[in-house]
Structure 1
Amino acid sequence: MADLKKFENNPQKQLLENLKDVRCVMLGTPNQDKHMQPMSPQVDVENNEIYFYSDNTSELGQAVLEKPGFVHMCLVEKDYQACVKGYLITHKDRDTIEKFWSPVVAAWYPDGKSDSKLMMLRFVPHDAAIWASTGNPLKFAYEIAKANLTDGMPDLGDMKNVELDAA
């Protein structure tokens, strides 16, 4: 259930916290002709940074190596959705690779942290459109019934456009 008070007071931090708790987002490539792909975000909430392990031979890896650029990242949960625009670049810091390394990541790289295909991507968020609702099924039913009876619109949450450069 989305915390609507946090959504009102600090949507930037809430976004990073929600990203930290998900297994997968859809990440675009700088090549706009290619489809988004599922990726696991590695989020450093304290420093407002988002990283992804990738493969330098993959479509995404090749696109970023050829031309870093602006991409979209989408997060969709039951009561929280976000579309984030940011800059995607390669990130060669070994400390970052070490910081987020796990058995799950290791499964993708047979030669470990020194695997020749391993690359780290850094997503620098610029701005986002975020939607949040309570996820309460009773509130949902009430709002739908009220809207149908009054010809009004249901109030199921809120939407914000936020700048993330200085989050």
Structure 2
Amino acid sequence: MKNEKNIAILKEMAESVRTCMFTTFSSDDELGSRPMGTAKIEDDGSLWFYTNEYSLKSKEISKENNVLLAYSDPSKNTYLTVKGKAELVDDKVRKEAYFSPFIKAWFPDGVEDPRLILIKVTPEEAEYWDSSSSKIVVLFSVLKAVVTGDTPDLGKHDTMKF
């Protein structure tokens, strides 16, 4: 039951943003981040992305499959990081099911593009901050904390395991 709740939170937050900073690790412990659009989040919590099979990120995932996804929506004061394991998946059924016209900009031949491959990220842990309050409410909470010496109430914060 707890995992279903965590997956629901993950899906709601990530789907509302759609684009994350997708961070990979090279073999010499260098970090590489780039914005990527989430193609699909399945009911089991796995996150799917399109990429070029011959890209640097694909090579990095083949050698070191730990990744970090960072979703951010400052207008809603919501933030989400997801740590997980990535794998390259060549699944024509999923390629067709998750494909959108936006992806065609990078892959003009659509799902038939020989470079097109999917990345599946299986989440292991996620951390989120959700202060759906307006910036004025957040600012007031911070100012109140300065005056009273209390910690500001900035909304919900939790770490979730999968």
Match of 2:5 among 7, 10, 17: 10
- How far does residue 139 in structure 1 lie from its aligned partner after superposition? 2.5
Q: CA RMSD in A?
A: 1.9
- Residue 43 (1) aligns with residue 40 (2): yes
Give the match for residue 132 of structure 1: 130
Give the match for residue 149 of structure 1: 147
As a proportion of its length, which structure holds more strand?
Answer: 2
- Unmatched 5+ stretches in structure 1: 1-8
Matched-pair contact (CA < 8 Å) for 1:26–1:73: yes
Matched-pair contact (CA < 8 Å) for 1:72–1:86: yes
Match of 2:69 among 66, 70, 73: 73
Q: How many residues align?
A: 155
| C-alpha distance in structure 2 between counterparts of 1:60 and 1:105, whole Å | 17
4+ residue segments displaced more than 4 Å: none
| Secondary structure of 2:54 counterpart | coil
Give the match for residue 16 of structure 2: 21
Alignment of 1:62-101 (within 5 A): 62-64=59-61, 66-78=62-74, 79-101=77-99
Matched-pair contact (CA < 8 Å) for 2:25–2:32: no
Matched-pair contact (CA < 8 Å) for 1:129–1:161: yes
| C-alpha distance in structure 1 between counterparts of 2:136 and 2:23, whole Å | 36
- Residue 34 (1) aligns with residue 23 (2): no
- Unmatched 5+ stretches in structure 2: none
